[in-house]
Amino acid sequence: MFQVNENYLKLPGSYLFSTVGRKQREYQAAHPDKKVIRLSIGDVTQPLAPVILDALHKAVDEMGQAETFRGYAPDLGYEFLRNAIAENDYKARGCDISADEIFVSDGAKCDCSNIQEIFSLNNRIAVCDPVYPVYVDSNVMAGRAGDYNPMTETWGDVIYMPCTEANGFSPEFPKETPDIIYLCFPNNPTGATISKDRLQEWVDYANKNGAVILYDAAYEAYISEENIPHSIYECEGARTCAIEMRSFSKNAGFTGVRLGFTVIPKELKAGDVSLHSLWARRHGTKYNGAPYIIQRAGEAVYSPEGKKQLKEQVAYYMNNAHYIYNNLKDAGFQVSGGVNAPYIWLKTPKGMTSWEFFDYLLENANVVGTPGSGFGPSGEHFFRLTAFGSYESTVEAIERIRKMPL
């Protein structure tokens, strides 16, 4: 008699964003006259840039001619895209990463959740708290997280690194030594960044302790300040301890287009075994490449015209971020993030729990955000708002929040 993976049954409730979506739909169904504004899931709203559309149309045409039709893509992705990534995201920033260390995929969510597969189940993971839920949930499913404690809302075998007001939402080195460290900067959900000096300390810590850092840089395009690293490979020694994951979702509006990549330097080894070779094996065996037409769209992101158009798109969202940040601050809310990231991290007023504030906001302002506690226990009493709406709906949402009785 077949049996299920018992680890799945340990997961409490549903995935955070599914619950947020359900609550929104239920409220909307009960109040069909209300116009609910979503500042919740990190989903973009601006149409694809013209240069991306041109690349897609051109690639579709190629697929219609026998001479230019493309079947299965190369395992690691097309060279034209991997070269563009190596050149623009890495070499241009002085990072020593070559095209054959880049694995193209259909998005950072898949990569973030699949990457744990190449590690031993005995490894201990450390995560920022709060953090994007996929890191922990994928380890739970694999059986690496231990048991859930509903009182503390933590997993027994996971090392939590609190990111709090006290430490400026930048984690300290944990008391127990982890094997695998997930870092995400600019951070989802807090919008906090890490300085280059501090990230260098993390790289040194990982090299000293034989740990590997899984660095999620999905939001690097939103960095506006100097001395904030865009890649972990700006730090010395990162090639022997760090894997970096990137997405086209937030810098190019590809949430519905699906493209991302993972970088694994060839020096990154456990004894004789290179993690690059293991991930290559996984790609070859369990994945079949991102669509050709979408890899061409990714290439267009790096064209001069693409860079210009997407800089404007990022600026559009960052204008929203500044609007949210400034106006909520004016209104007396305690806010952070929003400077180098599209996320505003709000302290809930009057000691409300995150979910209490979620319900309060939905009912009184018809605005949907994401409860901070859904990202980890240290997110309790916080709330995430995103800058990915249209300017008009963002302004309206913030006006409603300001008028809300508190």
Tokens of 137: 């949930």
Residue 216 or 328 with smaller CB distance to a second copy: 216
Beta strands in 210-315 (DSSP E): 212-216, 242-247, 260-263, 269-270, 273-274
Give the amino acid at 284.
Answer: G
Q: Which of residues 124-153 bind a second copy (CB under 8 A)?
A: 133-134, 137-138, 141
Phi, psi of 244 (to 5 degrees): -120, 140
Give the amino acid at 371.
Answer: P
Q: Which of residues 7-36 bind a second copy (CB under 8 A)?
A: 8-9, 11, 14-15, 17-18
Residue 256 or 351 with smaller CB distance to a second copy: 256
102, 180, 235, 361: residue in contact with a second copy (rule CB under 8 A) = 180
Residue 64 or 150 with smaller CB distance to a second copy: 64
12, 29, 33, 122: residue in contact with a second copy (rule CB under 8 A) = 122
Quote the least distance from Cβ 116 to a second copy, whole Å. 9
User: By CB under 8 A, is residue 179 in contact with a second copy?
Assistant: yes
User: By CB under 8 A, is residue 209 in contact with a second copy?
Assistant: yes
Q: Write the CB contacts of 271 (distance below 8 Å, at least 6 apart in sequence).
A: none
Would you tell me how many other CB atoms lie within 10 Å of the CB of residue 46? Answer: 15
d(CA 147, CA 140): 9
Quote the least distance from Cβ 386 to a second copy, whole Å. 12
CB-facing half-sphere around the CA of 180: CA atoms within 13 A: 25
Q: What is the CA radius of gyration of the chain?
A: 21
Quote the least distance from Cβ 136 to a second copy, whole Å. 10
> Do the Cβ atoms of 86 and 242 come closer than 8 Å?
no
Bridge partners, residue 161, by sequence:
128
Q: Which of residues 265-284 bind a second copy (CB under 8 A)?
A: 270, 273, 275, 278, 281-282, 284
Quote the least distance from Cβ 122 to a second copy, whole Å. 7
> Do the Cβ atoms of 104 and 76 come closer than 8 Å?
yes
Quote the least distance from Cβ 21 to a second copy, whole Å. 9
Residue 258 or 307 with smaller CB distance to a second copy: 258
126, 294, 321, 365: residue in contact with a second copy (rule CB under 8 A) = 294
d(CA 400, CA 341): 23
Tokens of 307: 């860079």
Residue 33 or 392 with smaller CB distance to a second copy: 392
101, 106, 129, 220: residue in contact with a second copy (rule CB under 8 A) = 106
Q: Which of residues 385-404 bind a second copy (CB under 8 A)?
A: 390
Region from 149-157, 206-214, 327-335, 348-356 binding a second copy, contact rule CB under 8 A: 206-214
24, 40, 114, 320: residue in contact with a second copy (rule CB under 8 A) = 114
The residue count for binding a second copy (CB under 8 A) is 83
| Residue 30, Cβ density class (10 Å: 0-12 exposed, 13-18 middle, ≥19 buried) | exposed
Residue 85 or 259 with smaller CB distance to a second copy: 259
Q: Which of residues 342-371 bind a second copy (CB under 8 A)?
A: none
194, 199, 211, 321: residue in contact with a second copy (rule CB under 8 A) = 211
| Residue 29, Cβ density class (10 Å: 0-12 exposed, 13-18 middle, ≥19 buried) | exposed
Residue 287 or 360 with smaller CB distance to a second copy: 287
User: By CB under 8 A, is residue 212 in contact with a second copy?
Assistant: yes
| Residue 350, Cβ density class (10 Å: 0-12 exposed, 13-18 middle, ≥19 buried) | exposed
> Do the Cβ atoms of 132 and 375 come closer than 8 Å?
yes
Q: Which of residues 39-78 bind a second copy (CB under 8 A)?
A: 41, 43-48, 50, 53, 56-57, 60-61, 63-66, 69-73, 75
Ordered alpha helix ranges (H), 185-255:
196-209
Quote the least distance from Cβ 334 to a second copy, whole Å. 29
Tokens of 330: 């004016």
3-class DSSP assignment, residue 355: helix
3-class DSSP assignment, residue 261: strand
37, 102, 118, 183: residue in contact with a second copy (rule CB under 8 A) = 118
Quote the least distance from Cβ 99 to a second copy, whole Å. 18
Quote the least distance from Cβ 3 to a second copy, whole Å. 4
DSSP letter (8 states) at residue 345: E
Quote the least distance from Cβ 47 to a second copy, whole Å. 4
